Chain A
Amino acid sequence: MTKALLKVEGLKTWFDTPEGTVRAVDGISFELRRGETLALLGESGCGKSISALSLLQLVPEPAGRIVAGRVMLGDQDVLAIPERDMRKIRGRRIAVIFQEPQTSLNPVLTIGTQIREALPEGFSDRRARERVVALLTSVGIADAERRYHEYPHQLSGGMKQRAMIAMALASEPDILIADEPTTALDVTIQAQILRLLKELQQKTGMAVLLITHDLGVVAEMADHVAVMYAGQIVESAPRKTFFAEPRHPYARKLFRSLPSRFKRGQALDAIPGSVPSLAQAFHGCRFAERCDQAWDLCRQKAPRWINKTESGVRCHLYDPDIPTTEAVAEAPSAPPSTKDAPPSPAGPANEVLLRMTDLKVHFPIHKGVFRRVVGHVKAVDGVSLEIGKGRTLALVGESGCGKTTVGKGILQLIRPTAGSVTFDGEELTALSERALRPMRRRFQVIFQDPYASLNPRMLVGDILEEGMRAQDLGGHPQDRAARTEALLRHVGLPAEARNRYPHEFSGGQRQRISIARALAVDPQLIVCDEPTSALDVSVQAQILNLLKQLQDELGLSYLFITHNLSVVEYLAHEVAVMYLGRIVEKGLVHEVLESPKHPYTQALLSAVPRIDTDTGRKVIRLEGDIPSPSNPPAGCHFHPRCPEATAACRESYPGPSRFSATHETCCHLYATGANTGKRD
């Protein structure tokens, strides 16, 4: 075993807030070796980013302070180095890339200038320039000479993240800290960046500390995994061991709460509750409240770190000094109850609730003094879909493909430019705003961001009653109040929540309130716009369970807009894949996900990092970024990125080809025979 490059021992970082001391990082230890990737895995608010900042003494002062611990970089304790000398460490020996490439680059300086700033001193003008261009090329930016003079806004998100990596690599650091480097990016771009990081690591032999919440990314990238929970590392193990046999109950629960196609029809084994507040002194195990294997000792005594050669775990279950008789015998992974959620048939829909035909939403681009229309952003460009009663249609696509706009077009929050939306036989696009108002109770919406979707100035009760009032439902004020309480209980919140403000609730609870608000008016269809992507995995499972349960009980239909394919596999009946405003493939969930036809669908599916990474999955790497919808490529929109593009793809947009009654795609690959025969 090689000597550790970076060794962290008992690091504690605390924050002093008016509410008390927040123990954000409470005694973590780990080692990082040359050429190795250590993944720090954890949910939001568990202290992983603060740990990384602490390593560089970048904890925001004066609120935060490093209370204890050592960070040994070679023979030097980084925490003992005065601020003046830290500059020689930061960016030189330890470099960082952050989550948001948008905010990490200065918008008024060119890319070249910013990367040059990161170069070590002593480069001549010309040499520095050459070096920056070389760096840009090495992170896979084509035409680096030109990009050198461009500003951040001229680069796409993935490109900016590449530039950030180039900046981090400028001084050839020993250690690269990557703080959620791909969370803000789309899956196909994420695959590019992850591959790039891996290649660079092999070339330079640097150590990578990867901070992430995504088990898939960990499986793809890490050599060693450390799981953080509530400011502590609860388990540490080599990747293979960890994925083969996670030991800490929290880690095991995490795996079980992940949605996937194998869990279809079952309730997910969600972890109850949410991450505890760190502004308290813990007496027992921090996970005890949410653990189904906890017993009395867990609440009284904090478990110690139990070390085995390469791995360790912080749990009483594995403590040899604690008699196992006392412990609950290795709880069999309770089979998730299947009875309350019978597997819904994945057959074709029987009764259509909502039908979109050739829906188009174009936004005009104005220019000049007189604001003449010089073009259109074709956010949605001819989408035809159907949603059956009690069914879930998943609309999948990367950011900017227009999937949210489809949702808003259905809800008539944005009036479609052309096409029709019929809801239960009624044409919505023809209705005036006034005539639409009573209709609105039948289709509702749940948004992505639980923090923006509730008015912070209104009581939860008022938020829920607003829809009833607007729709004149629920009768007397007392009846409404009673109904509100029933709704809250229905979504798993106490009835007293009525008299509290949204800020008193966690993200998952707020999402429950959003769901209750939508349910308040008895809708038939709910447009779920990425309802779980802002939530942690453990909370996501709770919300998915709730949505599924509500569908079974109330016969709701969902339009589920998402980029998360494992959620699709778990929840949807039908899938439609969207690219640049058009549907490229649609069909029943097993048809699309098991035998994808369109090259884009294939690439999208292969780009998703999987936990079962050893199965020899072939990843189709897509190059480049999604083009702008204001100026889509001629012919098939996907052809510039398509590995199988032909001359025909550049000339005309392909017509639909059918594979079954429900499965169809738009691709020239299948058009040859189908074009004449199957178009009716």
Chain B
Amino acid sequence: MPFQPVFLVTDVLIYVLLTAAIAFGVYASRREHLRAPWRQVARRPLAMAAMVILSAYVFIGLLDSVHFRERLPDQDQYSSEVLSLLDKIATPLRTRVEKTYSAPFAVHGFTKETVEHPDGSITREYPRLLYGGAHLEDPRDRTADIVKRGAVATLEGGIVWVFLVGAFVLLWRRPGEQFMHALRRLARGDSDLPWRTILVTIGALILVGSYSVNMALHYHILGTDQVGQDVFYKSLKSIRTGLVIGTLTTLVMLPFALVLGVMAGYFRGWVDDVIQYTYTTLSSIPGVLLIAAAILSLQVYMANHPESFETVVARADTRLLFLTIILGVTSWTSLCRLLRGETLKLREVDYIQAARALGVGNVRIMMRHLFPNVMHIVLITVVLDFSGLVLAEAVLSYVGIGVDPSMDSWGNMINSARLEMAREPMVWWSLAAAFVFMFGLVLAANLFSDAVRDAFDPRLRK
């Protein structure tokens, strides 16, 4: 085999989450009461635009979640380096490492170096970069080259988009409807779902993608960092970290919150007391302290047991997993409290009383009657928490108790960039890149979660 698949723990969890999401989608599509609110979400143009952007992030994140080890050439051994599909696709970005900092689209280095010329003279000057703009004979052609490539990118992206829209209209038009008529209908926004908005957002994304591909092969479009790595590549790699923190943390906390919250509300009495005291105590401990303690002790363990981790990536991954777990443990309390309150209300509702009168068992009442009827709260909390968790990762990594320093994450990017902010001229691109990528994700998530909340919250429903 030319490669050996590697399943990191977080990969497996992501697959589980993905399967669960798909299963839920299939399940929901068959049930009117679940389908109706989603349809309401789908009718909101802004939410669907956000959805498209989120999908792009998720797509990149998933590409980065398929790991393998390549066979070393001419040997019966696999490389010790674990790569992901994204790494493979972005090999040029990954391998073109400069010496140190360089600005976006630069052709020269950021710092002066002593250069020895062929004639023996020695000068201090900004050297040409090894890869950035290396194809240019004369660095002064840079602007013209960028403009030319930009035009090509626009053209390519435009063509792809036009084909996409055409294909969509062909599939979407009503039977017997003329193509131009359907196109006009689409342009007017005369459709059940906001297809116009969706297609325009996709168009914008295609354009961004096309620019990136065209430019990134020849320039470092977001510059390079201290060790000369491409910042654009690092930003892309950080997407997975952000998504993992935002989603897996929820996965970790959900069982706690759901089971304990519903149990506390349903059984009352001493069960309620124990659960309430547990989460009250837990939520009184400052979360950062708990996280710091857990991560630092994990660090000590890792330092003492290097043999437990096959690769650097596996090591970093373990730390990421731990971070999600500890974040989950510190954040389940608020959802638990909400669910307890809702269950307290629900247990007195007639249909639960009727089920008890029919002799239905407690477990079954919780499964059939309580869980489905508190699911809207879970869903709202999950989508609202997502963006908060992505931001929390950035803060924690900045403080130094976040993900492994060897792992790409927006928090680490900010952390490493903070000292360079004081330089003159300033090294701003690491920070800006992290900011833009994070902002895009969090804004899209927030817009989407607003729509989800509007659709699912019974108090907002008419």
* CA distance in complex: A443, B328 (Å): 45
* A466-B33 contact, Cβ under 8 Å, with A440-B359, A453-B351: no
Residues in A whose Cβ lies below 8 Å from that of B31: 457
14 further contact pairs, Cβ within 8 A, besides A449-B350, A518-B354: A63-B462, A408-B353, A411-B357, A413-B353, A441-B358, A445-B357, A452-B349, A452-B350, A453-B350, A457-B31, A470-B359, A470-B360, A470-B361, A503-B33
Q: Is the CB of A413 within 8 A of B356?
A: yes
Contact between B356 and A466 (Cβ–Cβ < 8 Å)? no
Interface: A467 (CB within 8 A): yes
A455 within 8 A of B: yes
Interface string of B346-390 (1 = CB under 8 A from A): 000111011111111100100011001100000000000000000
Is the pair B372, A466 in contact by a Cβ cutoff of 8 Å?
no
Residue of B with least CB distance to A503: B33
Q: Does B32 contact A (CB under 8 A)?
A: yes
Tell me, in angstroms, the Cα distance from A340 to B351 when the chains sit together. 32
A-contacting residues, B1-58, CB 8 Å: 31-33
A501 touches B32 (CB 8 A): yes
- Taken together as a complex, chains A and B put the C-alpha atoms of A458 and B358 apart, in Å, by 16
Complex CA distance for A408 and B355, rounded to whole angstroms: 13
Given contacts A440-B359, A467-B359, A470-B361, contact A457 B373 (CB under 8 A): yes
A424-458: which have CB < 8 Å to B? 436-441, 443-445, 447-449, 452-458
- Among A63, A439, A454, A466, which residue has its beta carbon within 8 angstroms of that of B360? A466
- Chain B residue nearest to A452 (CB atoms) is B350
State whether A501 and B358 are in contact (beta carbons under 8 Å apart), knowing that A455-B373, A457-B372 are contacts in the complex: no
Q: What is the size category of the interface that chain B forms with chain A?
A: 20 to 34
Chain A residues with Cβ under 8 A from B32's Cβ? 501
B350, A466: Cβ atoms closer than 8 Å:
no
User: Which residue, A447, A452, A455, has most C-beta atoms of chain B within 10 A?
Assistant: A455
From B32, B351, B356, name the one whose CB has the most chain A CB atoms within 10 angstroms.
B351
- Taking the complex as formed, is A521 at the interface, i.e. its CB lies under 8 A from any CB of chain B? yes
**A517 contacts chain B at the CB level, 8 A cutoff:** yes
CA distance A576 to B356 in the complex (A): 26
Encoded as 1 (CB less than 8 Å from any B CB) or 0, chain A from 517 to 542 comes to: 11001000000000000000000000
* Sample of 27 A–B contacts (CB below 8 Å): A63-B462, A436-B359, A438-B359, A440-B358, A441-B358, A444-B357, A448-B350, A452-B349, A453-B350, A453-B351, A453-B354, A454-B351, A455-B372, A455-B373, A456-B33, A456-B373, A457-B373, A458-B368, A458-B372, A466-B355, A466-B358, A467-B358, A467-B360, A470-B364, A514-B354, A517-B354, A517-B358
Is there an interface contact between B359 and A471, defined as CB atoms closer than 8 Å?
yes
Chain B residues whose C-beta falls within 8 Å of the C-beta of A445 in the assembled complex: 353-354, 357
Q: How many angstroms between the C-alpha atoms of A518 and B353 in the bound complex?
A: 12
How many A residues, CB 8 Å from partner?
33
**Residue among B353, B356, B357 with most chain A CB within 10 A:** B357
Residues of A within 8 A of B355 (CB): 466, 470
Q: Which residues of A contact B350 (CB under 8 A)?
A: 447-449, 452-453
With A457-B373, A458-B368, A466-B368 as known contacts, state yes or no: A452 contacts B351, CB within 8 Å: yes
Q: How far is the CA of A441 from the CA of B358 in the complex (A)?
A: 6
> Which residues from A are CB-within-8-Å of B358?
440-441, 444, 466-467, 470-471, 517, 521
Assembled-state Cα–Cα distance A514/B373 (Å): 19
- Kindly state the separation between the CA atoms of A441 and B372 in the bound complex, as whole angstroms: 25
From residue A204, how far is it (CB to closest CB) to chain B in Å? Answer: 38
Q: Cβ of A447 and Cβ of B354 under 8 Å apart?
A: yes
- A45-79, CB < 8 A from B: 63
**Complex: A503 Cα to B33 Cα, angstroms:** 9
Give the distance in Å from the alpha carbon of A517 to the alpha carbon of B356 in the complex: 13
* Residues of B close to A436: CB separation below 8 A: 359
B357 — which chain A residues lie within 8 A by C-beta?
411, 413, 440, 443-445
Closest 4 CB pairs of A and B: A440-B359, A467-B358, A453-B350, A447-B350
Closest chain-A Cβ to B353's Cβ sits at a distance in Å of 6
Identify which of residues 76-103 in chain B touch chain A, using a CB-to-CB cut-off of 8 Å.
Answer: none
Contact A501 B33 (CB under 8 A): yes
CB of B89 to closest CB in A, whole Å: 43
A-side contacts of B356, CB under 8 Å: 413
Chain A contacts of B372 at CB under 8 A? 455, 457-458
Assess the B364–A455 pair: CB atoms within 8 A.
Answer: no
Q: Which residues of B contact A466 (CB under 8 A)?
A: 355, 358, 360, 368
Neighbouring B residues of A440 by C-beta, 8 Å: 357-359
How far is B353's CA from A471's CA once the two chains are assembled, in angstroms? Answer: 16
B residues in contact with A437, CB < 8 Å: 359, 361
Closest to B375 in A: A457
Contact of B33 among A413, A457, A521 (CB under 8 A): A457
Chain B residues with CB below 8 A from A441, complex form: 358-359
What separation, in Å, do the CA atoms of A449 and B354 have in the docked complex? 12
Task: Tell me the smallest distance from the CB of A604 to a CB of chain B, in Å.
Answer: 26
